[in-house]
Amino acid sequence: MDLNDRLARRLQALRSAQGLSLDALATRPEVDMKHVGVTGISQGGGLTLAVSALDPRPVAAMADIPYLCHYERAVDMAVVMPYLEISDYIKLYPQRERQVYRTLSYFDNMNLAPRNRSNVLMSVGLVDDCCPPSSIFAVYNHLTCNKDIKVYRYHKHEDILAHWAEKFAWAKTYIG
């Protein structure tokens, strides 16, 4: 199985698992789905954006320093893993570059962004060497829903403690 197949299957499984989590919540009598949001950091942030684009149930999506954004730009800018895995593969198989990016385009949050109808809050660290800020801004700029982004000038790819208060206040507005 080559990288295209592995990536596609892995991402599909992760997104299916998140959708199943929403299915499970929806069966609970104590859960009002009008007040459900999704959140995650890094890969979880990327999956948050994907789930909220593919599933209409989340009212709010809070994606912190999301991965899985504008793959081609991220690969061009990457200096650390995980995006280097893609460029390493393309170096070995340059004839597959077009197919690699075609496969990834189906999972790219930049392409999914226009489908998102949730209220979206994103965060970005401007010195993030793992998930290039320009790839995150690309997704944000393609969102057509209600959106906000918090920019942290001095932060890398890390849990931004100052962001938690912003995030809770924002969530209260949309999910109570």
Q: Are 115 and 144 in contact (CB under 8 A)?
A: no
Question: Annotated catalytic residue: which of 64, 118, 128, 142?
Answer: 128
Catalytic residue status for 128 = yes
Q: Which residues contact 99 (CB under 8 A, 6 or more apart)?
A: 4
Catalytic residue status for 35 = no
Tell me the C-alpha to C-alpha distance, in Å, between residue 47 and each of 16, 19, 91, 165. 10, 10, 27, 22
Tell me the C-alpha to C-alpha distance, in Å, between residue 92 and each of 77, 88, 114. 19, 7, 34
Distance separating the N- and C-terminal Cα atoms of the chain: 46
Question: Annotated catalytic residue: which of 142, 155, 157, 163?
Answer: 157
Catalytic residue status for 42 = yes
Just list the catalytic residues: 42, 128, 157
